[in-house]
A = this chain, B = another copy of it.
Amino acid sequence: MDKILRINVGAPGGPTLTEESCGDYAGLGGRALTSALVNKEVPADCHPLGPENKLVIAPGLLSGTAAVTSGRLSVGCKSPLTGGIKEANSGGQGAQILARLGYAAIVLEGEWDGETLYKVVVNKDGATIEKANDLKMMTNYQLMEKFQDLYTKGAMLSIGTAGEMRLSNSTIAVTDKEQRPTRHAGRGGVGAVMGSKGIKVIILDGDGTKMREPKNKEAFSDANKRFNQGLKDHAVTGQGLPTYGTNVLTNLLNEAGGYPTYNFKQGNFPDAEKISGETQAELEIARGGKATHGCHRGCSIQCSGTFLDKDGNYVTKQPEYETVWSHGGNCGICDLDAIAKLDFLDDDFGLDTIEMGVTIGVAMEAGLLKFGDAEGAINLVKEVGSGTPLGRILGSGAATTARAYGIEKAPVVKGQGMPAYDPRAVKGIGVTYATSPMGADHTAGYAVATNILKVGGDVDPLSPEGQAELSKNLQIATASVDSTGMCLFIAFAVLDQPETFQALIDLLNGFYGLELTADDVVALGKSILDNERDFNARAGFTAEDDRLPRYFKRDKLPPHDVTFDVPDEDLDKVFQW
């Protein structure tokens, strides 16, 4: 993992592939690398789909090693959705294979001719690129059918029709253990940037590669055991997530009155039970699917699963909580089969499920269809996949949809749709939505942990007190975790169990022969956020962009009848260090 592969699609004689040493980026991984490179090399005022933007794909520092749950891949660029810097993070096999192939990053850059689609193959002998116009407007599952023999020991990164159309809500799909395109660098339209470079698919062929070797084998192995034990010991990572998946949250958030329902109109959904993680797991198992499953080899949390239809045929991977919410409660839909179908369509076309569901909620608010209309929602996603005018509105995200239909109530920050926690009733996550350089993003500083799950402390979700401090610390920690390749879900154990946090640091030290301390982890997190904030400031972002839409401060959310009342001054303190 000591080299960077640069693919310049604008080189005079056709695309060039260049391998170079990590240079300025040596020692960085994942989000630390993507954000450093984007901030240094991409002009902040460039157009996200123009020749000056770059797409950076980077495994984490521990990816490709024996460290458990280290398979997260970071994808960075200037975001077409937010206009700011973006790191979108995906599970699946991509990070492990890319790291084993020896790459700290792949960088797509240069000015595309706008016509020719390309296919990139990376294997142990290097990388090649070739024209592939026969792939035009293929979906991700179609690409899987075509190429799965090439990556039986690897992974495929691809864009579906959405990315090819350069829609602001388009993802980069990353295949899972079963070679399916079910994992996505989802948020912020990174697929559109890949599309704007004309790269349809990157096949990572892992054949003949080996696991990366630690500098200090014994220390690393010992740390890995302690780390894994820590994950097993914690109630969330050891029981809740494996048993019910992320959707274990539905009942919890609904009971807390923070489950955004009918486009953020109320904080509880009368039909929540019908789409809860408990119901979902029961259904999956009854039909012969799986409720406990990892998205990549080496995962010990196993929060995923497989969703089959009533005849036992594969539909999609187990839809995540965020997806079940966005396509479910947020739209008044309580049909798990319809939600699974929507999840499949999103994956197939390459659409972020959060943004897509939030967008449909906005479309329902605008009167395009009724809340609860599952069939209508499915049709809308199909419109996006085929690129009809209506599909292009919806595929451009919730903010653009609200603009096209002339309505105020788009739950977005920096143009990005809010995830599955109402910021009025879970105020810590509201601070993260408002201030994260990524736009509204729950993963950037998951204050839900402390507000609702009481992990890492207990901060009253309904009070404005202490939320800024909570979000700040979580955003710092998250930026660091996003650089290791570790799944963010390790945070539950790391926040609650000091010995598990130490084991994580020991993993890094054992692997790289370093002597990092907790302070170094904090410093790394801050430096990443500094890079991101610097880019955004130069792109024109101000404190005014670190705010929720005004109606969250105005309109009360039942059942608690709360507004978002964390003072602006608190929001402005999040990044003061």
Contacts and interface: CB of A to CB of B under 8 A. Distances in A.
Contacts of A52: 550
Interface string A510-549: 0000000000000000000000000000111111110101
Interface in A370-414: 388-390, 392-393, 395-396, 400, 403-408
A50 B392 contact: no
* Main SS class of interface, A: loop
Contacts of A166: 405-407
Nearest to A196: B406
Interface in A34-60: 43-47, 49-50, 52
A192 B406 contact: yes
A195 interface: yes
A167 interface: yes
Copies in the complex: 2
A141 B524 CA distance: 64
Contact of A408 (B50, B388, B550): B50
A547 B43 CA distance: 14
Given A392-B393, A396-B403, A545 B550 contact: no
A279 B400 CA distance: 41
Residue among A165, A405, A538 with the highest chain B CB neighbour number at 10 A = A405
Count class of interface residues, chain A: 35 or more
Contacts of A45: 544, 547, 550
B408 A165 contact: no
A546 to B, nearest CB: 9
A168 B47 contact: no
Interface of A: 43-47, 49-50, 52, 80, 165-168, 192, 195-196, 388-390, 392-393, 395-396, 400, 403-408, 538-545, 547, 549-551
Given A47-B551, A50-B408, A540-B544, 13 more contacts: A44-B544, A47-B549, A49-B406, A49-B407, A50-B551, A166-B405, A166-B406, A166-B407, A195-B406, A396-B400, A396-B404, A400-B400, A539-B544
Q: Across chains A and B, which 6 residue pairs bring their CB atoms closest together, nearest first? A: A166-B406, A540-B544, A389-B390, A389-B389, A392-B404, A50-B408
